[in-house]
Amino acid sequence: MRDNPYLFTLLSAAATVVFIVFASAGLGGLARLIVRLARRSRREQEAAFAGYLFAAPWIVGFLIFVVLPMLASLYWSFTDFRIGRPIALVGLQNFARLIVEDRGFRGSLVNTLFLTIFGLPLQVGVALLLAVLLNQRTRGERVFRATFYLPVILGFNAAVLLCWRLILNAGNGIINQVLRAVSQALPVIGYLQRGAIYVVEIVNGFFLGLTNGNFTLMERALAEGLPAANRVPLWVQSPLWSKMSVILLIVWGCGSMMLIFLAGLTAIPRELEEAAEVDGATRWKRFWKITVPLLSPYIFYNLVVGMIATLQIFEPVYVLYRDNQPLAPSAYSLVFYLYQATFRFNEIGYGSAISWLILAIIAVVTFVQFRLQNRWVGYELH
Amino acid sequence: MGLYLLLTAASILMSFPLFWMISTSLKSLEEANAPRIIWIPSQAVLDAYQHVLTDPDFLRAYLNSTFYAALALVGTLLSVAAVAYAFSRLRWPGRNLVFALMLSTLMIPAQALIVPQYVFFNALRWIGTFNPLVIPGYFAGGAAMVFLLRQAMAQIPRELDESAFIDGANHLQIWWEIVLPLIKAPLATVATFLFVSYWNNLLGPLLYAQTTRLHTLPVYVATLYNINNTTQPWPTIMAAAVLTTVPLFVVFFFAQRFILEGVVVSGLKG
């Protein structure tokens, strides 16, 4: 049976269904029994039975696939567990190694921080811009909407990500070819591009220095001054650019944030804008004084969800950089590092410690966001 | 007018990678690696497609992806719909607590659980099978999807199932015959999201389906690019990429009116 992977999984799926049916009936029966022992009415007994019967798949799955693994990994994070070897408790050694010694982990933490500081606001900004453009009730709005949303559906497939590897190629990639052609034809754009390269390389050099204590790349970028006229971004070839490619991909996939903003925009009463227009407020002023404050709950939602998503980035890093040594560590995300560090030598204990640290970071960041929200998020009109 | 110009420019930028994927797949190897811009191949060459479609590894990866995504989708959709029914149409002791618990799992990234789950699946001797990719979904995997369907079900008037109840229908009948037919659009949306996430899944197959025999499409396509090659076979890679994304295009084409109408968003506001 195990020889045929399809048959094996089909039979396993069937067995799972049977298991879930029995578990649900069991859980429902248990709930009914408890309610009966509490001497409640027959109606309430039936309600408890039905409720737990239908909710059981999630409850059982939650116990098996979330609670149990989390408890197990919490225990393992204090051990030196490797698959196929005896387990020994090592206290806080894993965490000490992670925080004090492990350069790879620190690097992935700084990289993820970089994506969150620069990528996330850019993504939210572009999503907001697209939503505002679409909200003008133009004809053909649906086609535009579908086009902007499509990358969300396709974007994280390894196949499409490989296409980005082709596009971002430093030498004959299409982006750099276009940049070269444009900056040759229009010197102004050439200067802008060189300025952008200058700034990006200094900032990235600084963050690289944070990861390994070596700031030479930043100093070199500073010392060289404005790059030469024919310079182009070295997207997937330089540690100064590897994270910028990931940011490009993040911004490209801003479609679901755009949908959220569109929903928020349609909820803003037209009269408000019209009244402000009559009062002589410019379009720019209306955007900042009316649209943004009223959209703040939606911006907040997108920031929270986007932050969690950014902390979980894996596919772009895998496809663009998995084999791209030695610059790969300059782009490793937390989850990619978790994958690599754990499964290279099946170090479950160490991997568990990383998982729990990631969980703690997400919890803290989300908590801080919720604490800060009443400073700037207004729910008046909702 | 300026608005249209902006929107069109943005559309071109956003969809450019897809255009480039198709264009490259039709190029010859020389044109694909040429040091000058070739927007559209001078002559459409189908060699790459022929190469990919006669590659048994690619065809098997296609079969594997289809098999696993379909099997996982059916179980996930049904269990998610059942659980959403419990959270929207039924009143039972502990409901709010369980619901709050479920929402809190939205904060837990799935990847933070892969390490212990790997040990668990290893103990079951499930590494090297499709089981770890398929079975967890059967336990209503995906709190966001449950939430979305719950919001949709909560909008159905309560009198409907009450009258059916008086007529002697049980909950299973009400769920299957009354509630589910009324939320076809949200179901289609959830099915689309689930299909997309299964079809695009990379980390799961990398961990659990490592043998060539079990490779799914994303894993297979990623192996086509080899950094040690002096020239990458870009037309072949892009032909495989186009064929990989065709199902996503098809699904999105049929589901886009539900997704873009904001079924998702109306779920969020409730």
- Tens of pLDDT, residue by residue over B128-170, are 999 999 999 999 988 889 999 998 898 888 888 888 888 888 9
pLDDT of B266 reads 46
Angle formed by the axes of helices B234-261 and B2-25, to 10°? 140
Cβ pair A348:B118 closer than 8 A: yes
Q: What is the mean pLDDT of chain A?
A: 90
Query: How far, CA to CA in Å, does A119 sit from each of A123, A196, A209, A332?
Result: 6, 16, 19, 15
Q: Quick check: B53 pLDDT over 90?
A: yes
pLDDT given at position A382: 43
Residue A96, amino acid: A
Residues in chain B within 8 Å Cβ distance of A144 = 7, 10-11
ipTM given for this complex: 0.91
Q: Are A208 and A240 in contact (CB under 8 A)?
A: yes
Instruction: Say if A189 is an interface residue toward chain B (CB within 8 Å).
Output: no
Backbone phi and psi for residue A89, each to the nearest 5 degrees, phi listed first: -70, 135
What is the signed CA dihedral for A318, A154, A248, B148, rounded to 10 degrees? Answer: -100
Rounded to the nearest angstrom, the minimum Cα separation between A254 and chain B is: 10
- Chain A residues in contact with B232 (beta carbon < 8 A): 166
In three-state secondary structure terms, A237 is coil
Residues 223-262 of A with CB under 8 A from B: 252, 256, 259-260, 262
The distance in angstroms from the start CA to the end CA of chain B is 37
> Is B144 in contact with A305 (CB distance < 8 Å)?
no
Position B262 pLDDT exceeds 70: no
Peptide bond into B233 cis (omega under 30): no
Taking one residue from A and the other from B, the number of pairs with CB-CB distance under 8 angstroms is 315
Q: What is the pLDDT of residue A311?
A: 85
* pLDDT, tens only, A68-104: 999 999 999 999 999 888 889 999 999 999 999 899 9
Instruction: Please tell me the predicted confidence (pLDDT) of residue B158.
Output: 86
SS in 3 state form for B212-241?
A: HHHCCHHHHHHHHCCCCCCCCCHHHHHHHH
The CATH number fitting domain A100-170+236-376, selected from 3.40.50.300, 1.10.10.10, 1.10.3720.10, 3.40.50.2020: 1.10.3720.10
Share of chain B above pLDDT 90, in %: 66
> How many Å lie between the alpha carbon of A351 and the closest alpha carbon of chain B?
6
- What tokens were used for A345? 């030598």
Q: Residue B50's CB: how many other CB atoms inside 10 A?
A: 12
- Interface mutation target, options A160, A301, A352, chain B, most CBs of B under 10 Å: A160
Say how many C-beta atoms besides its own lie within 10 A of residue B34's C-beta. 13
Burial A234-258 (b: 16+ CB within 10 A, else e): bbbbbbbbbbbbbbbbbbbbbbbbb
Taking each helix axis from N to C end, the angle separating A158-167 and B234-261, rounded to the nearest 10 degrees, works out to 120
User: For residue B195, is pLDDT > 90?
Assistant: yes
CA dist A33 to A39, A262, A362, B145, Å?
10, 49, 39, 31
Q: What pLDDT was estimated at residue B270?
A: 33
Q: Rounded to 5 degrees, what angle do the CA atoms B81, B216, B121 make?
A: 65
Contacts of B260 in chain A (CB under 8 A): 142, 145-146, 149, 259
CA distances from A379 to A125, A204, A376, B13, B263 (A): 20, 37, 10, 35, 22
Long-range Cβ contacts of A321-326 (<8 Å, 24+ apart): A321/A236, A321/A242, A322/B222, A323/B226, A323/B227, A324/A236, A324/A242, A324/B227
Contacts of A136 in chain B (CB under 8 A): 3
B108:A66 CB<8 A: yes
Closest chain B residue to the Cα of A266, Cα to Cα = B262
| Dihedral sign computed on CA atoms, order A360, A366, A367, A372 | positive
pLDDT at B269 (0 to 100): 39
Mutate to test the interface with A, among B92, B138, B230 (most CBs of A within 10 A): B92
Residue bearing tokens 């959830």: B190
Domain B42-269 class, CATH top level: mainly alpha
Which tokens belong to A137?
């009730």
Confidence band, pLDDT 50/70/90 cuts, at residue A379? low
Between A295 and B111, the higher pLDDT residue: A295
Q: What's phi and psi for A79, nearest 5 deg?
A: -125, 175
Separation of alpha carbons A97 and B224, rounded Å: 36
Per residue in A349-363, pLDDT (tens digit) is 999 999 999 999 888
Greatest Cα pair distance in chain B: 75
Question: What is the DSSP-derived secondary structure letter of residue A227?
Answer: P
Provide the pLDDT confidence category of residue B261 given band limits of 50, 70 and 90: confident
Count Cβ atoms within 10 A of the Cβ of residue B43 and give its class: 0-12 exposed, 13-18 middle, 19 or more buried.
Answer: exposed
